[in-house]
Structure 1
Amino acid sequence: MKYVLAIDQSTSGTKALLLDGAGELLKRADLSHEQKVNARGWVSHDPMEIYRNTIEAARRAVSGIDPAKIAAIGISNQRETALIWDSETGLPVADAIVWQCGRAQEICDRLANQAETVRQKTGLLLSPYFPAAKWAWILENTPGLENRQLCAGTIDSWLVYKLTGSFKTDFSNASRTQLFNINLLQWDKELCELFGVPLESLPEVCMSDSCFGETDMEGVLPGPVPIFGVLGDSHGALFGQGCVKSGMGKATYGTGSSVMVNVGEKPVFSDSGIVTSLAWGIGGRIHYVLEGNINYTGSVIKWLVDDVKLLSSSKEAGEIAAGADPNDGTYLVPAFTGLGAPYWKSDSRAILCGMGRGTGRAEIVRAAEESIAYQIADVAFAIEKGSGIRLNELRADGGPTRDKFLMQFQSDLLGRPVAVSEREELSGIGAAYCAGIACGLYGWEILEKQARASFFPKRDLVWREKKYSGWKQAVSLLL
């Protein structure tokens, strides 16, 4: 028996997954890390805490098996979270700036006249969402960095560096930095100069199924094991969902959400508020995607639990929402740190509107639930408009997909089936499959093993247009 160990380092925590030689998930270990949010809404993570949790989660995941039988390691990661560390000490110069954080908006404002150059080279809209501006912010606001050998990376390259000593990233993560030319498949010198990020501080870019180095996970494993798969979390979920052909797409529901559609081996550029990225480099071939990212989806329900105290557990949300008055017209637009795709308005703030005298707890919970589906629909429709591809089915994964009310509403709103994976750990599983295929443990048929529950639309076009027009009207108040 051989195994694959996957690390899924997400916004809220770190998961270690143990898969067997048939690709079945045997064990999962989770550790959360602190969400550092200050009065200005800046969001940070402690990179050292993330690394320590990675080691401990791995330790827990492999307990009870012979760790010498682990054939390969895969890593999936929260993508746009950015950090800089000293290559001599191996220590961060500051906390990592989380993808949700918009503190680098001023840097993007300074470069506004270069927005089209940035888009043509990277496929990305100029935004503080992406690492380039975050790295620039760290460099401009952290004293004492002169004459130091610095590494600017995302969480994948940080973990690879700490685990193996190699400074590498993969195509999927590099394409999300806003410094990588997706046409030439290399770091772009002009963009590095625009943002003030030294090109030499950036990692080597590799195929996603390369060998990124070997690690014993700080002694958790009896000997060095190769890291054979690295993918950004959304890309890992796309691969794990088996969306390896043009026209196949998925939505990952997590703290935030990613809607991503495979568009094949040539880039497709859109003016619909969505971005073009690399899906991966696997098997010697590059695939591209169209994608839209949403800042607050699953975290909206967490807000109801932790801050507003309307729920004692996120698991209550669907049942309570189902009991709301169907004629209530309340909408929540959860722009707590701005609107992501397809609007890209980082200075917007959340609103709750359309309330009547009868609006109560259930109606507000339902508005929060529905806001998740509306945001997913915004991006899905924008991708269809920008690519000319009609999604016949949306594949879905992530913890919130266990919410049947949400998934049915999503299908009704889209007017097409939503196929929910029975596994919620698709990001890590995709990285595990990539690593397993790369080391020869799995064949490509492993991607067809997903079991799914399908939700089919039950509402008519009149209902759909009325509900969606109300949402668009609510969003327009922030634009």
Structure 2
Amino acid sequence: EESLFGKALPILSAAGDQQSALVGQACLEPGTAKITYGTGAFLVANCGTIRPQSANRLLGTVGYEVAGRGAMALEGSIFNAGTIVQWLRDDLRLIEDAAESADVAAALSGNDGVYIVPAFTGLGAPHWAADARGTISGITRATKAEHLVRAGLESVAYQTRDLLDAFEADGVAIKELRVDGGMVANDWLMQFTADICERPILRPDYREMTALGAAALAAMQLGWLAADAWASRTVPGTRFEPKMEKTASARLRRGWATALRKTLA
């Protein structure tokens, strides 16, 4: 609008929130993927130029498009992620702030069989059970408030693994997961997620990926930035490698699967 800025400014990029974050995380090659942990969580994977037809209740969508290249994508949504920490803090008053949850979880040697399935508003992908409601299972007289805090955080990792398994069943093998959003500041959760998902987790230092993706798309449109250069650049950040024994990770996931079945029943 010339009257506002003194000259007409072209609109060079237009993208949805998650698609823009996909570009911001430089997921421009098939099999690259990002997940944004906000109140909910959204996992989006580049699946190349073929239109995806999910057999595992994921959503096919456009990934991105610039001159000369583009990609389709698969998306899976988790309804409750950051809302779990809000619930633990504001409603149960088990922690005073979100950052405290990491120390509480780390102080325990394990979850002692306690699981929370946070279906506050139903379950998203790959279950799509809108009528499901949350459950807490495995509690005993030895269960403490700290177990509930840890179980709440753990549930984010289990839900992420459920999505990754669905993506893999659809033929989109994700070797590493790029993360952004408010919850990724929690080092304990990022390491636990890497352990449960049995994949490296990459957390960039700069995390405003939606804004970054929109800017990158505009720069590509202008010819200031090559897509290949964007995809191959070095991104400062932290890499969380899986450290947990596979048998221990599998045992925890079996406990989650049992809790999930009870919730869906």
The answer to whether the aligner puts 1:427 opposite 2:210 as a matched pair is yes
Amino acid at match of 1:271: A
The answer to whether the aligner puts 1:248 opposite 2:65 as a matched pair is no
Pick closer, same or farther for the CA change 1:225–1:249 going to 2, 3 Å: same
Normalised by the length of structure 2, the TM-score is: 0.92
Question: How far off is 1:223 after superposition?
Answer: 4.5
Instruction: Give 1:474's aligned residue.
Output: 259
Give the conservation status (yes or no) of the 8 Å contact 2:111–2:151.
no
Give the conservation status (yes or no) of the 8 Å contact 2:30–2:48.
yes
Pick closer, same or farther for the CA change 1:330–1:442 going to 2, 3 Å: same
In 2, the alpha carbon distance for the partners of 1:272 and 1:454 equals 29
Pick closer, same or farther for the CA change 1:299–1:327 going to 2, 3 Å: closer
Instruction: Give 2:187's aligned residue.
Output: 404
Instruction: Give 1:316's aligned residue.
Output: 100
Q: How does 1:55-454 map to 2 (within 5 A)?
A: 214=1, 219=4, 221=5, 223-326=7-110, 328-387=112-171, 389-444=172-227, 445-447=229-231, 448-454=233-239
Normalised by the length of structure 1, the TM-score is: 0.52
**Percent identity for Structure 1 against Structure 2:** 35
In 2, the alpha carbon distance for the partners of 1:359 and 1:299 equals 22
The answer to whether the aligner puts 1:455 opposite 2:235 as a matched pair is no
In 1, the alpha carbon distance for the partners of 2:242 and 2:88 equals 27
In 2, the alpha carbon distance for the partners of 1:223 and 1:360 equals 62
In 2, the alpha carbon distance for the partners of 1:350 and 1:215 equals 52
Instruction: Give 1:106's aligned residue.
Output: none
Pick closer, same or farther for the CA change 1:222–1:342 going to 2, 3 Å: same
Q: Give SS of 2:74's match.
A: strand
Q: CA RMSD in A?
A: 1.8
In 1, the alpha carbon distance for the partners of 2:81 and 2:14 equals 25
Give the conservation status (yes or no) of the 8 Å contact 1:215–1:226.
no
Pick closer, same or farther for the CA change 1:225–1:457 going to 2, 3 Å: same
Question: How far off is 1:324 after superposition?
Answer: 2.3
Give the conservation status (yes or no) of the 8 Å contact 2:111–2:147.
no
In 1, the alpha carbon distance for the partners of 2:248 and 2:103 equals 21
Question: How far off is 1:367 after superposition?
Answer: 0.5
Give the conservation status (yes or no) of the 8 Å contact 2:46–2:72.
yes
Give the conservation status (yes or no) of the 8 Å contact 1:268–1:290.
yes
Give the conservation status (yes or no) of the 8 Å contact 2:66–2:220.
no
Q: Larger Rg: 1 or 2?
A: 1
In 2, the alpha carbon distance for the partners of 1:308 and 1:422 equals 31
Question: How far off is 1:364 after superposition?
Answer: 0.7
Amino acid at match of 1:265: T
Pick closer, same or farther for the CA change 1:442–1:327 going to 2, 3 Å: closer
Question: How far off is 1:306 after superposition?
Answer: 1.9
- Indicate the larger mover: 365-374 or 431-440: 431-440
Q: Would you tell me which structure has more helix in proportion to its own residues?
A: 2
Give the conservation status (yes or no) of the 8 Å contact 2:14–2:214.
yes
Q: Would you tell me which structure has more strand in proportion to its own residues?
A: 1
In 2, the alpha carbon distance for the partners of 1:321 and 1:371 equals 12
User: Which structure 2 residue ranges, 5 or more long, are not aligned?
Assistant: none
Question: How far off is 1:268 after superposition?
Answer: 2.3
Q: Give SS of 1:231's match.
A: coil
Amino acid at match of 1:260: V
Instruction: Give 1:465's aligned residue.
Output: 250
Q: Give SS of 1:306's match.
A: helix
Q: Deviations over 1:94-115 (max 9, x none)?
A: xxxxxxxxxxxxxxxxxxxxxx
Pick closer, same or farther for the CA change 1:439–1:411 going to 2, 3 Å: same
Pick closer, same or farther for the CA change 1:349–1:215 going to 2, 3 Å: farther
In 1, the alpha carbon distance for the partners of 2:2 and 2:140 equals 59
Q: Give SS of 1:345's match.
A: coil
Pick closer, same or farther for the CA change 1:273–1:215 going to 2, 3 Å: farther
Give the conservation status (yes or no) of the 8 Å contact 1:329–1:356.
no
Q: Give SS of 1:453's match.
A: strand
Give the conservation status (yes or no) of the 8 Å contact 1:340–1:346.
yes
Give the conservation status (yes or no) of the 8 Å contact 2:33–2:45.
yes
Q: Give SS of 2:84's match.
A: helix
In 2, the alpha carbon distance for the partners of 1:390 and 1:284 equals 25
In 2, the alpha carbon distance for the partners of 1:322 and 1:330 equals 15
User: Which structure 1 residue ranges, 5 or more long, are not aligned?
Assistant: 1-213
Question: How far off is 1:446 after superposition?
Answer: 3.8
- Indicate the larger mover: 402-411 or 226-235: 226-235
